[in-house]
Amino acid sequence: MDITKNLNIQLSNPDTKDFLADAFYPEIDSKLPLVIFVHGYKGYKDWGAWNLMAEKFAEAGFFFVKFNFSHNGTTIISPTEFDDLEAFGNNNYSKELSDLDFVINHFTKNTKVDDQKIILIGHSRGGGISIVKTCEDERINALITLASVDTLERFPKDEGLENWKNKGVYYVENARTKQQMPHYYQFYQDFKDNEHRFDVERSMEMAKAHVLIIHGTDDEGVSMKNAEHLHILHPNSELFLIENGNHVFGAKEPWTEGTLPEDLNTVVEKCIEFINDKIVNE
């Protein structure tokens, strides 16, 4: 099966700023379910083994899209480097939801896409964003969370929050690049202004889509308890645990091997099985 890869498609969201997306799909005549991958905090579309993951979804018969959030710190020129820390500092959940909506609207217009079959896959914080989006957008037929958070209220507490407000910025070190990455106080203000909308628990309870929750039992970034909590909130969901799996299911940046890490391969196979069962062959 021939796979088409349209890389670094420039999208222009008038409510945020330009960002890049990739589309992987098989060259077949029938319309394809649209699978959109939503990266997490300090993530980007080309991180680690995400390209191999995209190829595997395309080979399984899906129109697979991954994208960089407009304010994730990467740029049009440097999509794999955090070259725009000012944008990173000015990111917030409203902008991420706007970008995700723009991506859905853009790719559902593609003639190869079946716009009645839309699936979101969100990793880590991208899982929380995907849960909120699934709740408020009835076009989404299925939701898959990978190592997802169960709340978007992940901010400094008490004295740390007060210091953030007074200084207007706090910094987090990127363990890989050693960059000091800023967060401006507007991020927290945006959350407080939209607290009901960004309530992941409420969104999970109200989501009408089919839901699959995947988590590693040894996730060092987001505790497995987050997955168990999400499963309780949406009793019709399926919980799939990767024994000894970590936060990125065995991947790393850069990923130089030609095949997926074993855990991530298991994840992708489970996702494909779930989508086929719930959406394609329903």
pLDDT confidence of residue 1: 84
- Per residue in 154-191, pLDDT (tens digit) is 999 999 999 999 999 999 999 999 999 999 999 999 99
- Per residue in 117-135, pLDDT (tens digit) is 999 999 999 999 999 999 9
Among 176, 186, 132, smallest CA distance to 44 is for 176
pTM listed for this prediction:
0.98
- In SS3 terms, the chain reads as CCEEEEEEEEEECCCCCEEEEEEEEECCCCCEEEEEEECCCCCCCCCCCHHHHHHHHHHCCCEEEEECCCCCCCCCCCCCCCCCHHHHHCCCHHHHHHHHHHHHHHHHCCCCEEEEEEEEEEECHHHHHHHHHHHHCCCEEEEEEECCCCCCCCCCCHHHHHHHHHHCEEEEECCCCCCEEEEECHHHHHHHHCCCCCCHHHHHHHCCCEEEEEEECCCCCCCHHHHHHHHHHCCCCEEEEECCCCCCCCCCCCCCCCCCCHHHHHHHHHHHHHHHHHHHCC
Domain map (residue ranges) of the chain: 3-153+199-280
Residue 17 in this model has a pLDDT that exceeds 90: yes
The overall average pLDDT reported for the chain is 98
CB atoms within 10 A of CB 233: 20
Mean pLDDT of 79-102: 98
- Per residue in 239-271, pLDDT (tens digit) is 999 999 999 999 999 999 999 999 999 999 999
Among 236, 237, 240, 232, smallest CA distance to 215 is for 240
Mean pLDDT of 94-100: 99
Q: Decide yes or no: CATH 2.60.40.10 for domain 3-153+199-280.
A: no
pLDDT confidence of residue 142: 98
pLDDT confidence of residue 282: 79
